[in-house]
């Protein structure tokens, strides 16, 4: 029984075991590893996709869910500190899945309770269960994680999904990783120093698209730019359209954590490269596998 | 397995089968037709009554519910398009029950997913499961739908419950239908052309009340009037009070989809004509019957 | 099957039976007294702690929960009157647990439905299930309720938890009760006339702390003061800090219904007197016991 706050909390072996189990759950869709157990979903920051897929995963495993999505109207809104809220949930559950707008909230929670805590996204920090789903999609398509060329596109400085993705890749041996973003949205240098695999900085996806096996797209938020005009100027170069897709390797794939807004032209959905809906469909089996690993015994 | 978007999606035979099954569920209150199944409640427009009665219906049939009521804080609020949201729910459920403020949202949803979609109210379009409950109440009281005189009172232009009611009546043989509303809230002509039974337009319920077996009351919303003074002027003539009820046929009944605001004087609740609370109590058994028809086999 | 609106709805014997049962549920954490039953949680005023602990209690007893927390987006928001909303819930549930911002809402609800109603907090009136948890904590620590000296600190005029606490104490024989508050937050005289045990009015906790076995702390809300300066002036004297705790009897305890904001210095949490987290942990077993008493047979 342990907490999953960061991608670093999982070894390569554990990731591979989770993938084995997830493949099994893809077929069966059910189990009883959470029978008589209750999982608390503490989503201080609202979410549909992540909330519902954890909810469904618990249901499929015979467990019960309690919790909330959105802090308005919770005791938090009344000024309660996070520690007291977590202590409360500790009384009601066997594990706590937390989403919060502050970096480090999940780690903090794990220090307050003895129950396992799963980070479902904390501020600009991490979202490791999303990464498990991302890499499981890669694994299902290529039957491996190693030896591939990855391209991460968009906001590489503030996107927690990107942080968790790049960190979990350190457990594997990617051939190379392209970090494609506007200069002001590049990963921090301290972060880059963590990476134990070859990576290249790029500003224009068109320059490198021919090389890429796995293109991971994230949203670029207008708010990140001091100058809205600059945002307007660059945003086109970060939209995936049929023209860009036409340059991709035959067997390459496009991933996106969803929800997407305009980062991917809807016409791309019908191309064989578009794997983001399949990726979304792995949310439940992968989370069933993780929950079984953590609470199953 | 099919979707129910409009009253037209049900034949007379299917309606009658649903009523048979609903009568059975009224006594038993439980079944196992949804055992191991999960139903998604996607209420983009919030609702208590419809949400909870579907929720209870699924529980009574041994199924699980996931979903949301109110779009604030969902990925929709983040700008996700409806198609992507429905694709997500498709991954988590065996059927999708949708309420949305836009006409046609339910139909659109049914084109995105292969899972059956049930329209729980889409804008000013339809709300067919409410009509099943309405007509089931008529059936329980008169032991028939045919041969009766119906009176629909209130907003006949924008009320989705009225649209579904009038359309489902085309599957039966009503003696006559009075359409009672202020001139500006009469059904559109194209809509009237759909009706295959005799109907009469009226402006004042007092002129026709003696004829009516089933009086169906809906709210008149102030917002529908350009001139608030006009609203104030006419609204009294659309409130059901003891004086009006005193003119009703001995065996006639009053229906209302609820929630009501001031359309029906509370003193009417105690008269034998008031059937709207009984009508509300049929929400669960009728929805259990529909869900069993759609997902049961 | 009866409703619990006020502490007065329980006899001493019933409270003691509930404590017996709660002690049993503390160990087992599960039962089947609600198998096949559905409990409606009608939280018109949002709450996390109370909502989730009732939710978990129902789950542990094999029952189902339907309901809402926060009235926004419910039919109430559309202008439905409380009576109609309760009649709706009556159709969907075997018992109704209600929280509402208006005094008397729970009593009113119990007059509309034949199903048992449990008051989970109505305005400034009462919150009897919280009191069961409070006194259960006392019972677990002292193995008795009688013969102890209680101190209630804070808002004694508007806090529903205080009202329910003082009223349930009338079923027992406390040695004495100190009512410690700013003059403008003292209990109303009519209320004091209900008390059948010795009590003393105090303004400064420091004067009486040495006497107290059970110190019950509630929040003092700034809004209660016409003059904010006066609030600033007095508030320090109503904060529990290590200095005050140092004067407490060796075996005395501090209770708080939670959530707390700044009424108790966090450094107090580590002292043996701090029982409020243990108190919170009794929420589920005590509510399991109450629900079993009401719905179990």
SS (H, E, C) B131-165: HHHHHHHHHHHHCCCCCCEEEEECCCCCCHHHHHH
Kindly state the average pLDDT of the residues C205-230: 90
Give the tokens for residue C279. 């108190």
Maximal CA-CA distance, chain C: 55
Query: Is pLDDT at C34 greater than 70 in this prediction?
Result: yes
Alpha-carbon gap, residue C78 to C274, rounded angstroms? 44
User: What backbone phi and psi angles, to 5 degrees, belong to A210?
Assistant: -60, -25
Give the tokens for residue A33. 């590893």
Residues 6+ apart with CB under 8 A from A102: A122, A123
Transcribe A227-266 into DSSP letters: -HHHHHHHHGGG-B-HHHHTTS-TT-EEE--S--SSSB-G
Going by the DSSP 8-state scheme, the letter that residue A207 receives in this structure is H
Q: What does each C-alpha distance from A245 to A36, A202, A274 come to in angstroms? A: 48, 18, 9
A114 inside 8 A of chain C by CB: no
Kindly state the average pLDDT of the residues A260-272: 94
Alpha-carbon gap, residue A295 to A293, rounded angstroms? 6
Query: Is pLDDT at C230 greater than 90 in this prediction?
Result: no
Residue A283 and residue A22 in contact, taking contact as beta carbons nearer than 8 Å: no
CB contact under 8 A, A52 and B76: no
Instruction: Please report which helix (H) or strand (E) contains residue A283, including its range.
Output: helix A283-295
Query: Is pLDDT at C53 greater than 90 in this prediction?
Result: yes
Kindly state the average pLDDT of the residues B247-264: 95
Looking at the structure, give the CATH architecture of the domain made up of residues B128-280: 3-Layer(aba) Sandwich (3.40)
Query: Is pLDDT at A72 greater than 70 in this prediction?
Result: no
Q: Which residues of A touch B85 (CB under 8 A)?
A: 48, 259
Tell me the pLDDT tens digit for each residue of B9-20: 999 999 999 999
Query: Is pLDDT at C234 greater than 90 in this prediction?
Result: no
B36 inside 8 A of chain A by CB: yes
Closest by alpha carbon to C120, among C54, C181, C165? C54
Closest CB from C38, C76, C84 relative to B56:
C38
Alpha-carbon dihedral of residues C249, C253, C258, C263, nearest 10 degrees? 10
Question: What is the nearest CA distance from B96 to chain A, expressed in angstroms?
Answer: 13
Going by the DSSP 8-state scheme, the letter that residue A133 receives in this structure is H
CB contact under 8 A, A92 and C280: no
CB contact under 8 A, A88 and C258: yes
Residues C83, C88, C91, C95: is their CA dihedral positive or negative? negative
CB contact under 8 A, A84 and C259: yes
Closest by alpha carbon to A58, among C99, B38, B235? B38
Alpha-carbon gap, residue C62 to C56, rounded angstroms? 10
Residue of chain A with shortest Cα separation from C28: A36
Give the tokens for residue A32. 């009883």
Give the tokens for residue B159. 């009320």
Q: Which residues of C touch B284 (CB under 8 A)?
A: 91-92
Neighbours of B111 (CB within 10 A): 10
Residue of chain B with shortest Cα separation from A263: B80
CB contact under 8 A, B87 and A277: yes
Q: Which residues of B touch C72 (CB under 8 A)?
A: 46, 70
Is C183 one of the annotated binding-site residues?
no
Tell me the pLDDT tens digit for each residue of A125-178: 999 999 999 999 999 999 999 999 999 999 999 999 999 999 999 999 999 999
Residue of chain C with shortest Cα separation from B45: C73
Per the listing, tokens 């706590």 go with: A96
Q: State the pLDDT at residue A112.
A: 95
Tell me the pLDDT tens digit for each residue of B99-146: 999 999 999 999 999 999 999 999 999 999 999 999 999 999 999 999
Q: How confident is the model at residue B51 (pLDDT cuts 50, 70, 90)?
A: very high
Kindly state the average pLDDT of the residues C258-277: 95
Alpha-carbon gap, residue C189 to A193, rounded angstroms? 70
Q: State the pLDDT at residue A73.
A: 61
Question: What is the nearest CA distance from C297 to chain B, expressed in angstroms?
Answer: 19
Q: State the pLDDT at residue B88.
A: 93
Transcribe C67-98 into DSSP letters: EEESSTTSTTTTT--HHHHHHHHHHH-SEEEE
Query: Is pLDDT at C87 greater than 90 in this prediction?
Result: yes
Closest CB from C38, C67, C84 relative to B59:
C38
Is A258 one of the annotated binding-site residues?
yes
CB contact under 8 A, C66 and B55: yes
CB contact under 8 A, A92 and C260: no
Which of A68-82, B36-50, B209-223, B240-254 is least confident? A68-82
Residue of chain C with shortest Cα separation from A37: C60
Task: Give the angle C63-C64-C67 at the CA atoms, nearest 5°.
Answer: 140
Mean pLDDT of chain A: 94
Q: Which residues of A touch B78 (CB under 8 A)?
A: 259, 261
Strand order in the sheet with B64-69: B64-69, B38-43, B95-100, B117-122
Chain region(s) in chain B for CATH 3.40.50.1370: 7-126+283-295, 128-280
Radius of gyration (Cα) for chain A, nearest Å? 19
Question: What is the nearest CA distance from A110 to chain C, expressed in angstroms?
Answer: 17
B89 inside 8 A of chain A by CB: yes
Grouping H, G, I as helix, E, B as strand and the rest as coil, residue A41 is strand
CB contact under 8 A, C67 and B47: no
Give the tokens for residue B25. 């569920």
Residues 6+ apart with CB under 8 A from B221: B155, B158
User: What backbone phi and psi angles, to 5 degrees, belong to C185?
Assistant: -115, 20
Q: How confident is the model at residue B1 (pLDDT cuts 50, 70, 90)?
A: low
Question: What is the nearest CA distance from C282 to chain A, expressed in angstroms?
Answer: 9
Kindly state the average pLDDT of the residues A117-124: 97
Residues β-bridged to residue A254: A215, A274
Residue in C34, C48, C282 to test binding to A, most A beta-carbons within 10 Å: C48
User: What backbone phi and psi angles, to 5 degrees, belong to C65?
Assistant: -120, 135
Residue A135 and residue A15 in contact, taking contact as beta carbons nearer than 8 Å: yes
ipTM here = 0.90
Kindly state the average pLDDT of the residues C229-233: 84
Residue of chain C with shortest Cα separation from A63: C59
Closest by alpha carbon to B29, among B287, B296, B293? B287
Alpha-carbon dihedral of residues B6, B9, B13, B18, nearest 10 degrees? -60
Alpha-carbon gap, residue B34 to A223, rounded angstroms? 45
Closest by alpha carbon to B10, among B161, B169, B158, B184? B169
Tell me the pLDDT tens digit for each residue of A6-22: 999 999 999 999 999 99
Residue of chain C with shortest Cα separation from B44: C73
CB contact under 8 A, A85 and C52: no
Q: State the pLDDT at residue C77.
A: 67
Residues 6+ apart with CB under 8 A from A90: A96, A112, A113, A114, A115
Give the tokens for residue C273. 């007197």
A22 inside 8 A of chain C by CB: no
CB contact under 8 A, B69 and C72: no
Neighbours of C72 (CB within 10 A): 14
Query: Is pLDDT at A187 greater than 80 in this prediction?
Result: yes
CATH class of domain segment(s) B7-126+283-295: alpha beta
Q: State the pLDDT at residue B272.
A: 98
CB contact under 8 A, B56 and C66: yes
Residues 6+ apart with CB under 8 A from B280: B49, B133, B258, C87, C88, C91
Residue in A29, A130, A259 to test binding to B, most B beta-carbons within 10 Å: A259
Grouping H, G, I as helix, E, B as strand and the rest as coil, residue B217 is strand
Q: State the pLDDT at residue A77.
A: 67
* b/e B168-183 (16+ beta carbons within 10 angstroms → b): bbebbebebbbbbbbe
Closest CB from A72, A80, A92 relative to C259:
A80
Tell me the pLDDT tens digit for each residue of C114-171: 999 999 999 999 999 999 999 999 999 999 999 999 999 999 999 999 999 999 999 9
Alpha-carbon gap, residue C116 to C93, rounded angstroms? 10
Going by the DSSP 8-state scheme, the letter that residue B78 receives in this structure is T
User: What backbone phi and psi angles, to 5 degrees, belong to C207?
Assistant: -70, -25
Tell me the pLDDT tens digit for each residue of B69-91: 886 666 666 677 899 999 999 99
Question: What is the nearest CA distance from A202 to chain B, expressed in angstroms?
Answer: 28
pTM, whole model, 2 decimals? 0.93
Alpha-carbon gap, residue A234 to A226, rounded angstroms? 13
Closest CB from C73, C77, C88 relative to B49:
C88
Alpha-carbon gap, residue A168 to A170, rounded angstroms? 5
Instruction: Please report which helix (H) or strand (E) contains residue A13, including its range.
Output: helix A12-28
Is C233 one of the annotated binding-site residues?
no
Q: How confident is the model at residue B280 (pLDDT cuts 50, 70, 90)?
A: very high
Alpha-carbon gap, residue C33 to C51, rounded angstroms? 19
Question: What is the nearest CA distance from A130 to chain C, expressed in angstroms?
Answer: 27
Q: Which residues of A touch B89 (CB under 8 A)?
A: 52
Residue in B92, B95, B114 to test binding to A, most A beta-carbons within 10 Å: B92
Mean pLDDT of chain B: 94
Alpha-carbon gap, residue B133 to B168, rounded angstroms? 12
Is A167 one of the annotated binding-site residues?
no
Is C49 one of the annotated binding-site residues?
yes
Question: What is the nearest CA distance from C289 to chain B, expressed in angstroms?
Answer: 24
| Chains touching B, CB cut-off 8 Å, 3+ pairs | A, C
B92 inside 8 A of chain A by CB: yes
Residue count of chain B: 297
Maximal CA-CA distance, chain B: 55
Question: What is the nearest CA distance from A74 to chain C, expressed in angstroms?
Answer: 5
Q: State the pLDDT at residue B73.
A: 61
Alpha-carbon gap, residue B5 to B246, rounded angstroms? 38
Alpha-carbon gap, residue B285 to B294, rounded angstroms? 14
């Amino acid at each position: 029984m342990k907490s999953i706050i960061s991608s670093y909390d999982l070894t390569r072996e554990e990731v591979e075991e989770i993938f084995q189990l997830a493949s099994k759950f893809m077929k069966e869709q059910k189990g009883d590893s959470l029978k008589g157990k209750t999982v608390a979903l503490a989503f201080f920051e609202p979410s549909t996709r992540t909330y519902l897929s954890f909810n469904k995963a618990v249901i499929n495993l015979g467990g019960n869910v309690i919790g909330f999505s959105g802090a308005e109207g919770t005791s938090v809104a009344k000024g309660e500190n996070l520690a007291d809220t977590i202590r409360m949930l500790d009384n009601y559950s066997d594990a706590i899945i937390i989403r919060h707008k502050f970096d480090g909230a999940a780690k903090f929670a794990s220090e307050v309770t003895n129950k396992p805590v799963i980070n479902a996204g904390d501020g600009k920090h991490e979202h490791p269960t999303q990464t498990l789903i991302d890499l499981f999609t890669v694994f299902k398509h290529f039957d491996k994680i190693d030896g591939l060329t990855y391209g991460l596109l968009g906001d590489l400085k503030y996107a927690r999904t990107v942080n968790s993705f790049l960190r979990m890749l350190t457990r594997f041996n990617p051939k190379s990783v392209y970090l494609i973003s506007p200069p002001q949205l590049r990963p921090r240098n301290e972060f880059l120093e963590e990476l134990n695999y070859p990576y290249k900085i790029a500003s224009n996806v068109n320059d490198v698209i021919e090389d890429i096996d796995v293109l991971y797209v994230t949203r670029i938020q207008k708010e990140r730019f001091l100058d809205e005009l600059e945002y307007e100027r660059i945003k086109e170069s970060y939209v995936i359209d049929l023209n860009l897709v036409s340059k991709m390797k035959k067997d390459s794939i496009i991933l996106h954590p969803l929800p997407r807004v305009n980062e991917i032209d809807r016409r791309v959905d019908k191309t064989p490269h578009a794997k983001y809906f399949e990726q979304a469909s792995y949310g439940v089996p992968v989370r069933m596998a993780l929950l079984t690993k953590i609470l199953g015994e």
